[in-house]
Structure 1
């Protein structure tokens, strides 16, 4: 069937080793005179921050540092940063780090350039106008937030997502060099997140030919290079293609309006137990994918073929079982836990109903899945993962 689709991509991308050196050029292009530089405490304690601030200092670009971004960032982080931006006279945001830092930068730029607060714009297409200029510099290969039109923050025990082309970063400097020192554990968790962005954008009710082309390339590259990147953090070729695959995942979500059921279940883990996003996504893949395969076995098998998994001679359910088994084997190879108890965050069997309710409330992402999970099926997945 012929499908209409939109490709919402506003972001200028400079990709490759050394891309961060172009920072002054892009600040000038975007008209920034004083920067609010946002990162988390972890990045603030590494040479990565020095690399960026040295570039700004050398170009005589004034900046204010906000290094208090937290994982699964609360709306309060965005409000606090907006106050600092206004008090210090900044007119541009730079997000340096993983998805949280980039989302906070996008959220601050949006909120500071509009009249309301972040939560007023939650949902799809609710942002009145373009906010302040925003540039992002990813230091992980995972979220695709550098080009996505999505920003996620938490309020209480709920995720508040803003989905709108107007919040996309104006520019992204995607420099694989900045991921070279990423620890193995973080490489594994963020790498699986990038893989799932491509997978879920392939297995979605909002599928389209362009998304299929992008996602199959992303799946192939990440599946080929993730083990290498984890095994040898200094593997430049692996780091290059992991950053590339993550970028494709961000583009894919712009083509399909975001992720699907794996993320719905992962959001519950992140919201209720503060499990880091990449790890939460990874935990929910095998059992959720086993259920989602029923929605379109042909596409699920095509995904396996992109991974190089031979399914010749197998029935559709057998092929799906083999693909899920290969994903679990990859987890063993890169050190991802295979059950919720392995997270050591205090989840008990009594929490599974609460997790199910939170996941099932994520109507937007849950509705994207080619196979629509019932509440009982969501609960069964959590029980199987426990």
Structure 2
């Protein structure tokens, strides 16, 4: 008998296939907000006219722009954005960019609500030992226009990197999730090919680790299996023709579905746990961590969950095949890195990575039990 609970998050709307500028204006009208603070991709702002078009559509309702959020959302940039947003008197944060910007704005909402105005203050609001502290709920909320497809805009969790320790720390609050997400495939054409496709594998990783979780349930499966099928179909079409907006839209919708299980309480596994460490400690882009670790984790887990892995292979169009092999071939065909050596991570680093990954929230929930760093080292060797 299934047991569990599904908590519906604080997402109000997902708008797909409409141009971003008009959709942002419509959301501000719906929400009754008047002072939009834009947190945007520096590349989009400086090298395209997309942000200019959005600013023109908003007119006086745009009260500021922040375009200096580096990868992995460092604390220093979160504080810089918080102080700029506070000074601008914003009543809505609008993100236009990738996952680091989306996560940055989630963190800014919590900083604004809890009077955090310096780097050390983030310690007061971060998750410790899996528990989020009591804090004031954000009253300035966020809407998101994602340009990558890792799916963070559908999550109430933000990852923020402490550069002094090279550790990615988690912030979490039910109202940190964007109130609305706008999926506009046209704005993603500026995203570098490697970034779009690798974040697509991040979304694949969400689907696969959810399907393989011991804690999944039919509601989560429905989204993960459909999301995986859509991503498997769409990503090669994007690679074949970068101007194919229908393929990009399918990839975006697949990503939306990929987050259904996680937001319904199904945990991720070792691919996500190890990925956290590779991102924070070695600056490996998040999508690349999934490209490299997911097939290795599947092969290591196969002893204990072959039945669930069979669902993965079938959803990807290869019933009866080994899911690790199917994923490896799929990721390779997209031209993504396949080994840790491709991202300059060598076996000398494995002990430190394994130690740190044990402390992530996901490794203890991996479907094949991981009792200590020695087993993580086995997985890392499979991906060396």
- Hey, what does 1:316 align to over in structure 2? none
Between the aligned partners of 2:379 and 2:241, the Cα distance in structure 1 is 33
- Hey, what does 1:385 align to over in structure 2? 383
Q: How many equivalent pairs are there?
A: 371
Between 63-72 and 48-57, report the one with greater CA deviation.
Answer: 48-57
Secondary structure of 2:281's aligned partner: helix
Deviation at 1:19, TM superposition (A): 4.4
- Hey, what does 2:237 align to over in structure 1? 228
Deviation at 1:97, TM superposition (A): 0.7
TM-score by length of 1: 0.91
CA-atom RMSD in angstroms: 1.8
Q: For 1:149-188, what aligned pairs fall within 5 Å after superposition? A: 149-155=156-162, 156-188=165-197
Between 250-259 and 351-360, report the one with greater CA deviation.
Answer: 250-259
Q: For 1:18-33, what aligned pairs fall within 5 Å after superposition? A: 18-20=18-20, 21-33=22-34
Q: Specify whether residues 108 and 258 from structure 1 end up closer, same or farther in structure 2 by C-alpha distance, changes over 3 A only.
A: farther
- Hey, what does 1:315 align to over in structure 2? none
Between the aligned partners of 2:136 and 2:304, the Cα distance in structure 1 is 38
- Hey, what does 2:86 align to over in structure 1? 86
Between the aligned partners of 2:122 and 2:142, the Cα distance in structure 1 is 16
Between 218-227 and 121-130, report the one with greater CA deviation.
Answer: 121-130
Is this contact kept in 1: 2:113–2:137, CA < 8 A?
yes
**Residues 119-177 of structure 1, C-alpha deviations (whole Å, 9 max, x = no match):** 32322453534311211110112x21222111111112212112332211111111122
Structure 2 unaligned runs (5+)? Answer: none
Between the aligned partners of 1:252 and 1:2, the Cα distance in structure 2 is 15
Is this contact kept in 2: 1:8–1:149, CA < 8 A?
no
- Hey, what does 2:123 align to over in structure 1? 119
Q: Specify whether residues 295 and 161 from structure 1 end up closer, same or farther in structure 2 by C-alpha distance, changes over 3 A only.
A: farther
**Residues 255-298 of structure 1, C-alpha deviations (whole Å, 9 max, x = no match):** 12543210111111111110111111211111111112333221
Between the aligned partners of 2:364 and 2:9, the Cα distance in structure 1 is 23
Between the aligned partners of 1:163 and 1:74, the Cα distance in structure 2 is 16
Secondary structure of 1:146's aligned partner: helix
- Hey, what does 2:347 align to over in structure 1? 349
Between the aligned partners of 1:121 and 1:177, the Cα distance in structure 2 is 36
Q: Specify whether residues 237 and 127 from structure 1 end up closer, same or farther in structure 2 by C-alpha distance, changes over 3 A only.
A: farther
The answer to whether the aligner puts 1:103 opposite 2:112 as a matched pair is: no
Q: For 1:257-296, what aligned pairs fall within 5 Å after superposition? A: 257-296=266-305
Q: For 1:331-346, what aligned pairs fall within 5 Å after superposition? A: 331-343=331-343, 345=344
Between the aligned partners of 1:26 and 1:98, the Cα distance in structure 2 is 20
The answer to whether the aligner puts 1:367 opposite 2:367 as a matched pair is: no
